[in-house]
Structure 1
Amino acid sequence: MKTSTVTLTALLSMPAIPAITSGHELSVSVRLVGSDAPVANAVVSVPSGLRPDPVITEIYQKDRAFHPHILVVPIGSSVDFPNRDNTQHHVYSFSPAKTFNIELYADRPAAPIIFDKPGIVELGCNIHDHMQGFVVVTDTSTFGQTNEHGQVTLPIDPGVAKDNQGSITLNVWHPRLLDNTHPVTREIGNGSQTVVVTLDLEPAPATEGSLDRLQQRFRKL
């Protein structure tokens, strides 16, 4: 199996200062390895002392695609899957964080799905092979997604900074990681205020048929 290459460089605003023990902001820049191109929509998180409140939200289907393609929700959240197409869909996941199967339907399923475990949930449609989406379920209140410039800023909780005077765990995930079943994890200095992460990613899917592997795995269940 090919191994993902992940390089992380922590840039301290002042190299000689001691680790700070109060809350601060951490600026994260995610780049494609070998080209320095920005990586948009990467999910970046840091453990915090607070568990986020669950939310009620949705991923809708339109033009035979999931919208949004990536949804980040706190643990315990409810997600509905309304169908806004003029064709039926069959939504499923067999990811360890949440396995479910919404059989062929139009309009709206009978009940939302509750995501009660943290992790990466990959979505597929048994009718339309090319459809793919992701729910990232988090148990931390400190998370965000990179913008089109590959950047996101996270507030570091004062309690986390105090309890982790040596280092803080940084988690970065993207759907095109060579192994996208879990985020890449690195320890960064507690005093870090700017961090650059480079990721080795699979090429973007060129055709609808490029997601046939997910369909084949479904049929083996």
Structure 2
Amino acid sequence: MYKLTVTLFLLLGGSLCDGAETNTIPLQLTDSLSGTPVANAVVILENGPSESPVEAEIVQKNRNFHPHTLIIPKYSRVDFPNQDNTQHHVYSFSPAKAFNIELYAGRPTEPVVFDKTGVVEIGCNIHDHMQAFILVTDSAPSGRTDEQGRLTVEIPPPADSDSGTQTGLLVWHPRLTDNTRMARFTVGKPYPESLELSVELSPEPTSDDPLDGLQERFREL
């Protein structure tokens, strides 16, 4: 059972044509606790258009991962080049992909293949503050919300008439209460003119936070 508190409101006032054309729906995402807009959240349409696997990188530079969040199709290969003058130890315990690249400088021997969808949380055993996320998807992302928490989602027509009466939307943000998985919303037909979604966010982290959960799990091994 997903632990995140989510709410879906279908705004009244009409609906878009439920025919063969792509449905374009404005979306508004807010924090359920504060009511403030949630910026830079990733939105993915379930069973949407797919993408071919890619070759990607998460670079370690200035003792941080770049980018902090990487979105890739399933079966993509990711390299972890170290551009710092110190060694790093990159690892993940995530069910979508557990791996361990022990102390190294330069470039690892082989990229990591991500062959399962989900959220992969990445850390460095040497530098506790370092954290990144990889979202492995079956569908191309619809995009990210802007500073006002807004995004226009395009829902293409179904491939067949038996595809059902509901569409799933996946939403992810690094400050979700449980950021190890994506929040799922269901949008029913006929599609609404607009959507308001809310998710529960954790407070903004501070520089003096204690050792995070990922590091604590590593220390317990």
TM range (shorter): 0.7 to 0.9
Aligned-pair identity in percent equals 49
Change (3 A) 1:70 1:59: same
What is the aligned residue count? 218
Partner of 1:199: 199
Query: Conserved in 2, the CA contact under 8 Å of 1:74 and 1:137?
Result: yes
Query: Conserved in 1, the CA contact under 8 Å of 2:37 and 2:148?
Result: yes
Instruction: Name the TM-score, length of structure 1 as normaliser.
Output: 0.88
1:124 Cα deviation from its structure 2 partner: 0.4
Query: Conserved in 1, the CA contact under 8 Å of 2:28 and 2:151?
Result: yes
Structure-to-structure mapping, 1:1-221, within 5 angstroms: 3-11=3-11, 14-15=14-15, 19-48=18-47, 50-159=49-158, 162-164=161-163, 166-190=165-189, 191-207=191-207, 209-221=209-221
CA distance in 2, matches of 1:211, 1:153: 38
5+ long unaligned stretches in structure 2: none
1:164 Cα deviation from its structure 2 partner: 4.3
Change (3 A) 1:208 1:58: farther
1:195 Cα deviation from its structure 2 partner: 1.4
1:212 Cα deviation from its structure 2 partner: 2.8
Structure 1, 68-77 or 162-171: larger mean CA deviation: 162-171
Instruction: Name the TM-score, length of structure 2 as normaliser.
Output: 0.88
Structure 1, 93-102 or 30-39: larger mean CA deviation: 30-39
CA distance in 2, matches of 1:117, 1:107: 27
**Higher helix fraction (1 or 2):** 1
Change (3 A) 1:145 1:9: same
1:32 Cα deviation from its structure 2 partner: 1.3
**Aligned residue type for 1:14:** G
5+ long unaligned stretches in structure 1: none
Query: Conserved in 2, the CA contact under 8 Å of 1:48 and 1:160?
Result: no
Structure 1, residues 34-91: CA drift from partner, whole Å, max 9, x if none?
Answer: 4332212212111235432111111112221111111111101111111222221111
Query: Per the alignment, in what secondary structure is the counterpart of residue 212 of structure 2?
Result: helix
Query: Conserved in 2, the CA contact under 8 Å of 1:44 and 1:143?
Result: yes
Change (3 A) 1:212 1:182: closer
Structure 1, 39-48 or 3-12: larger mean CA deviation: 3-12
**Aligned residue type for 2:212:** D
1:25 Cα deviation from its structure 2 partner: 2.0
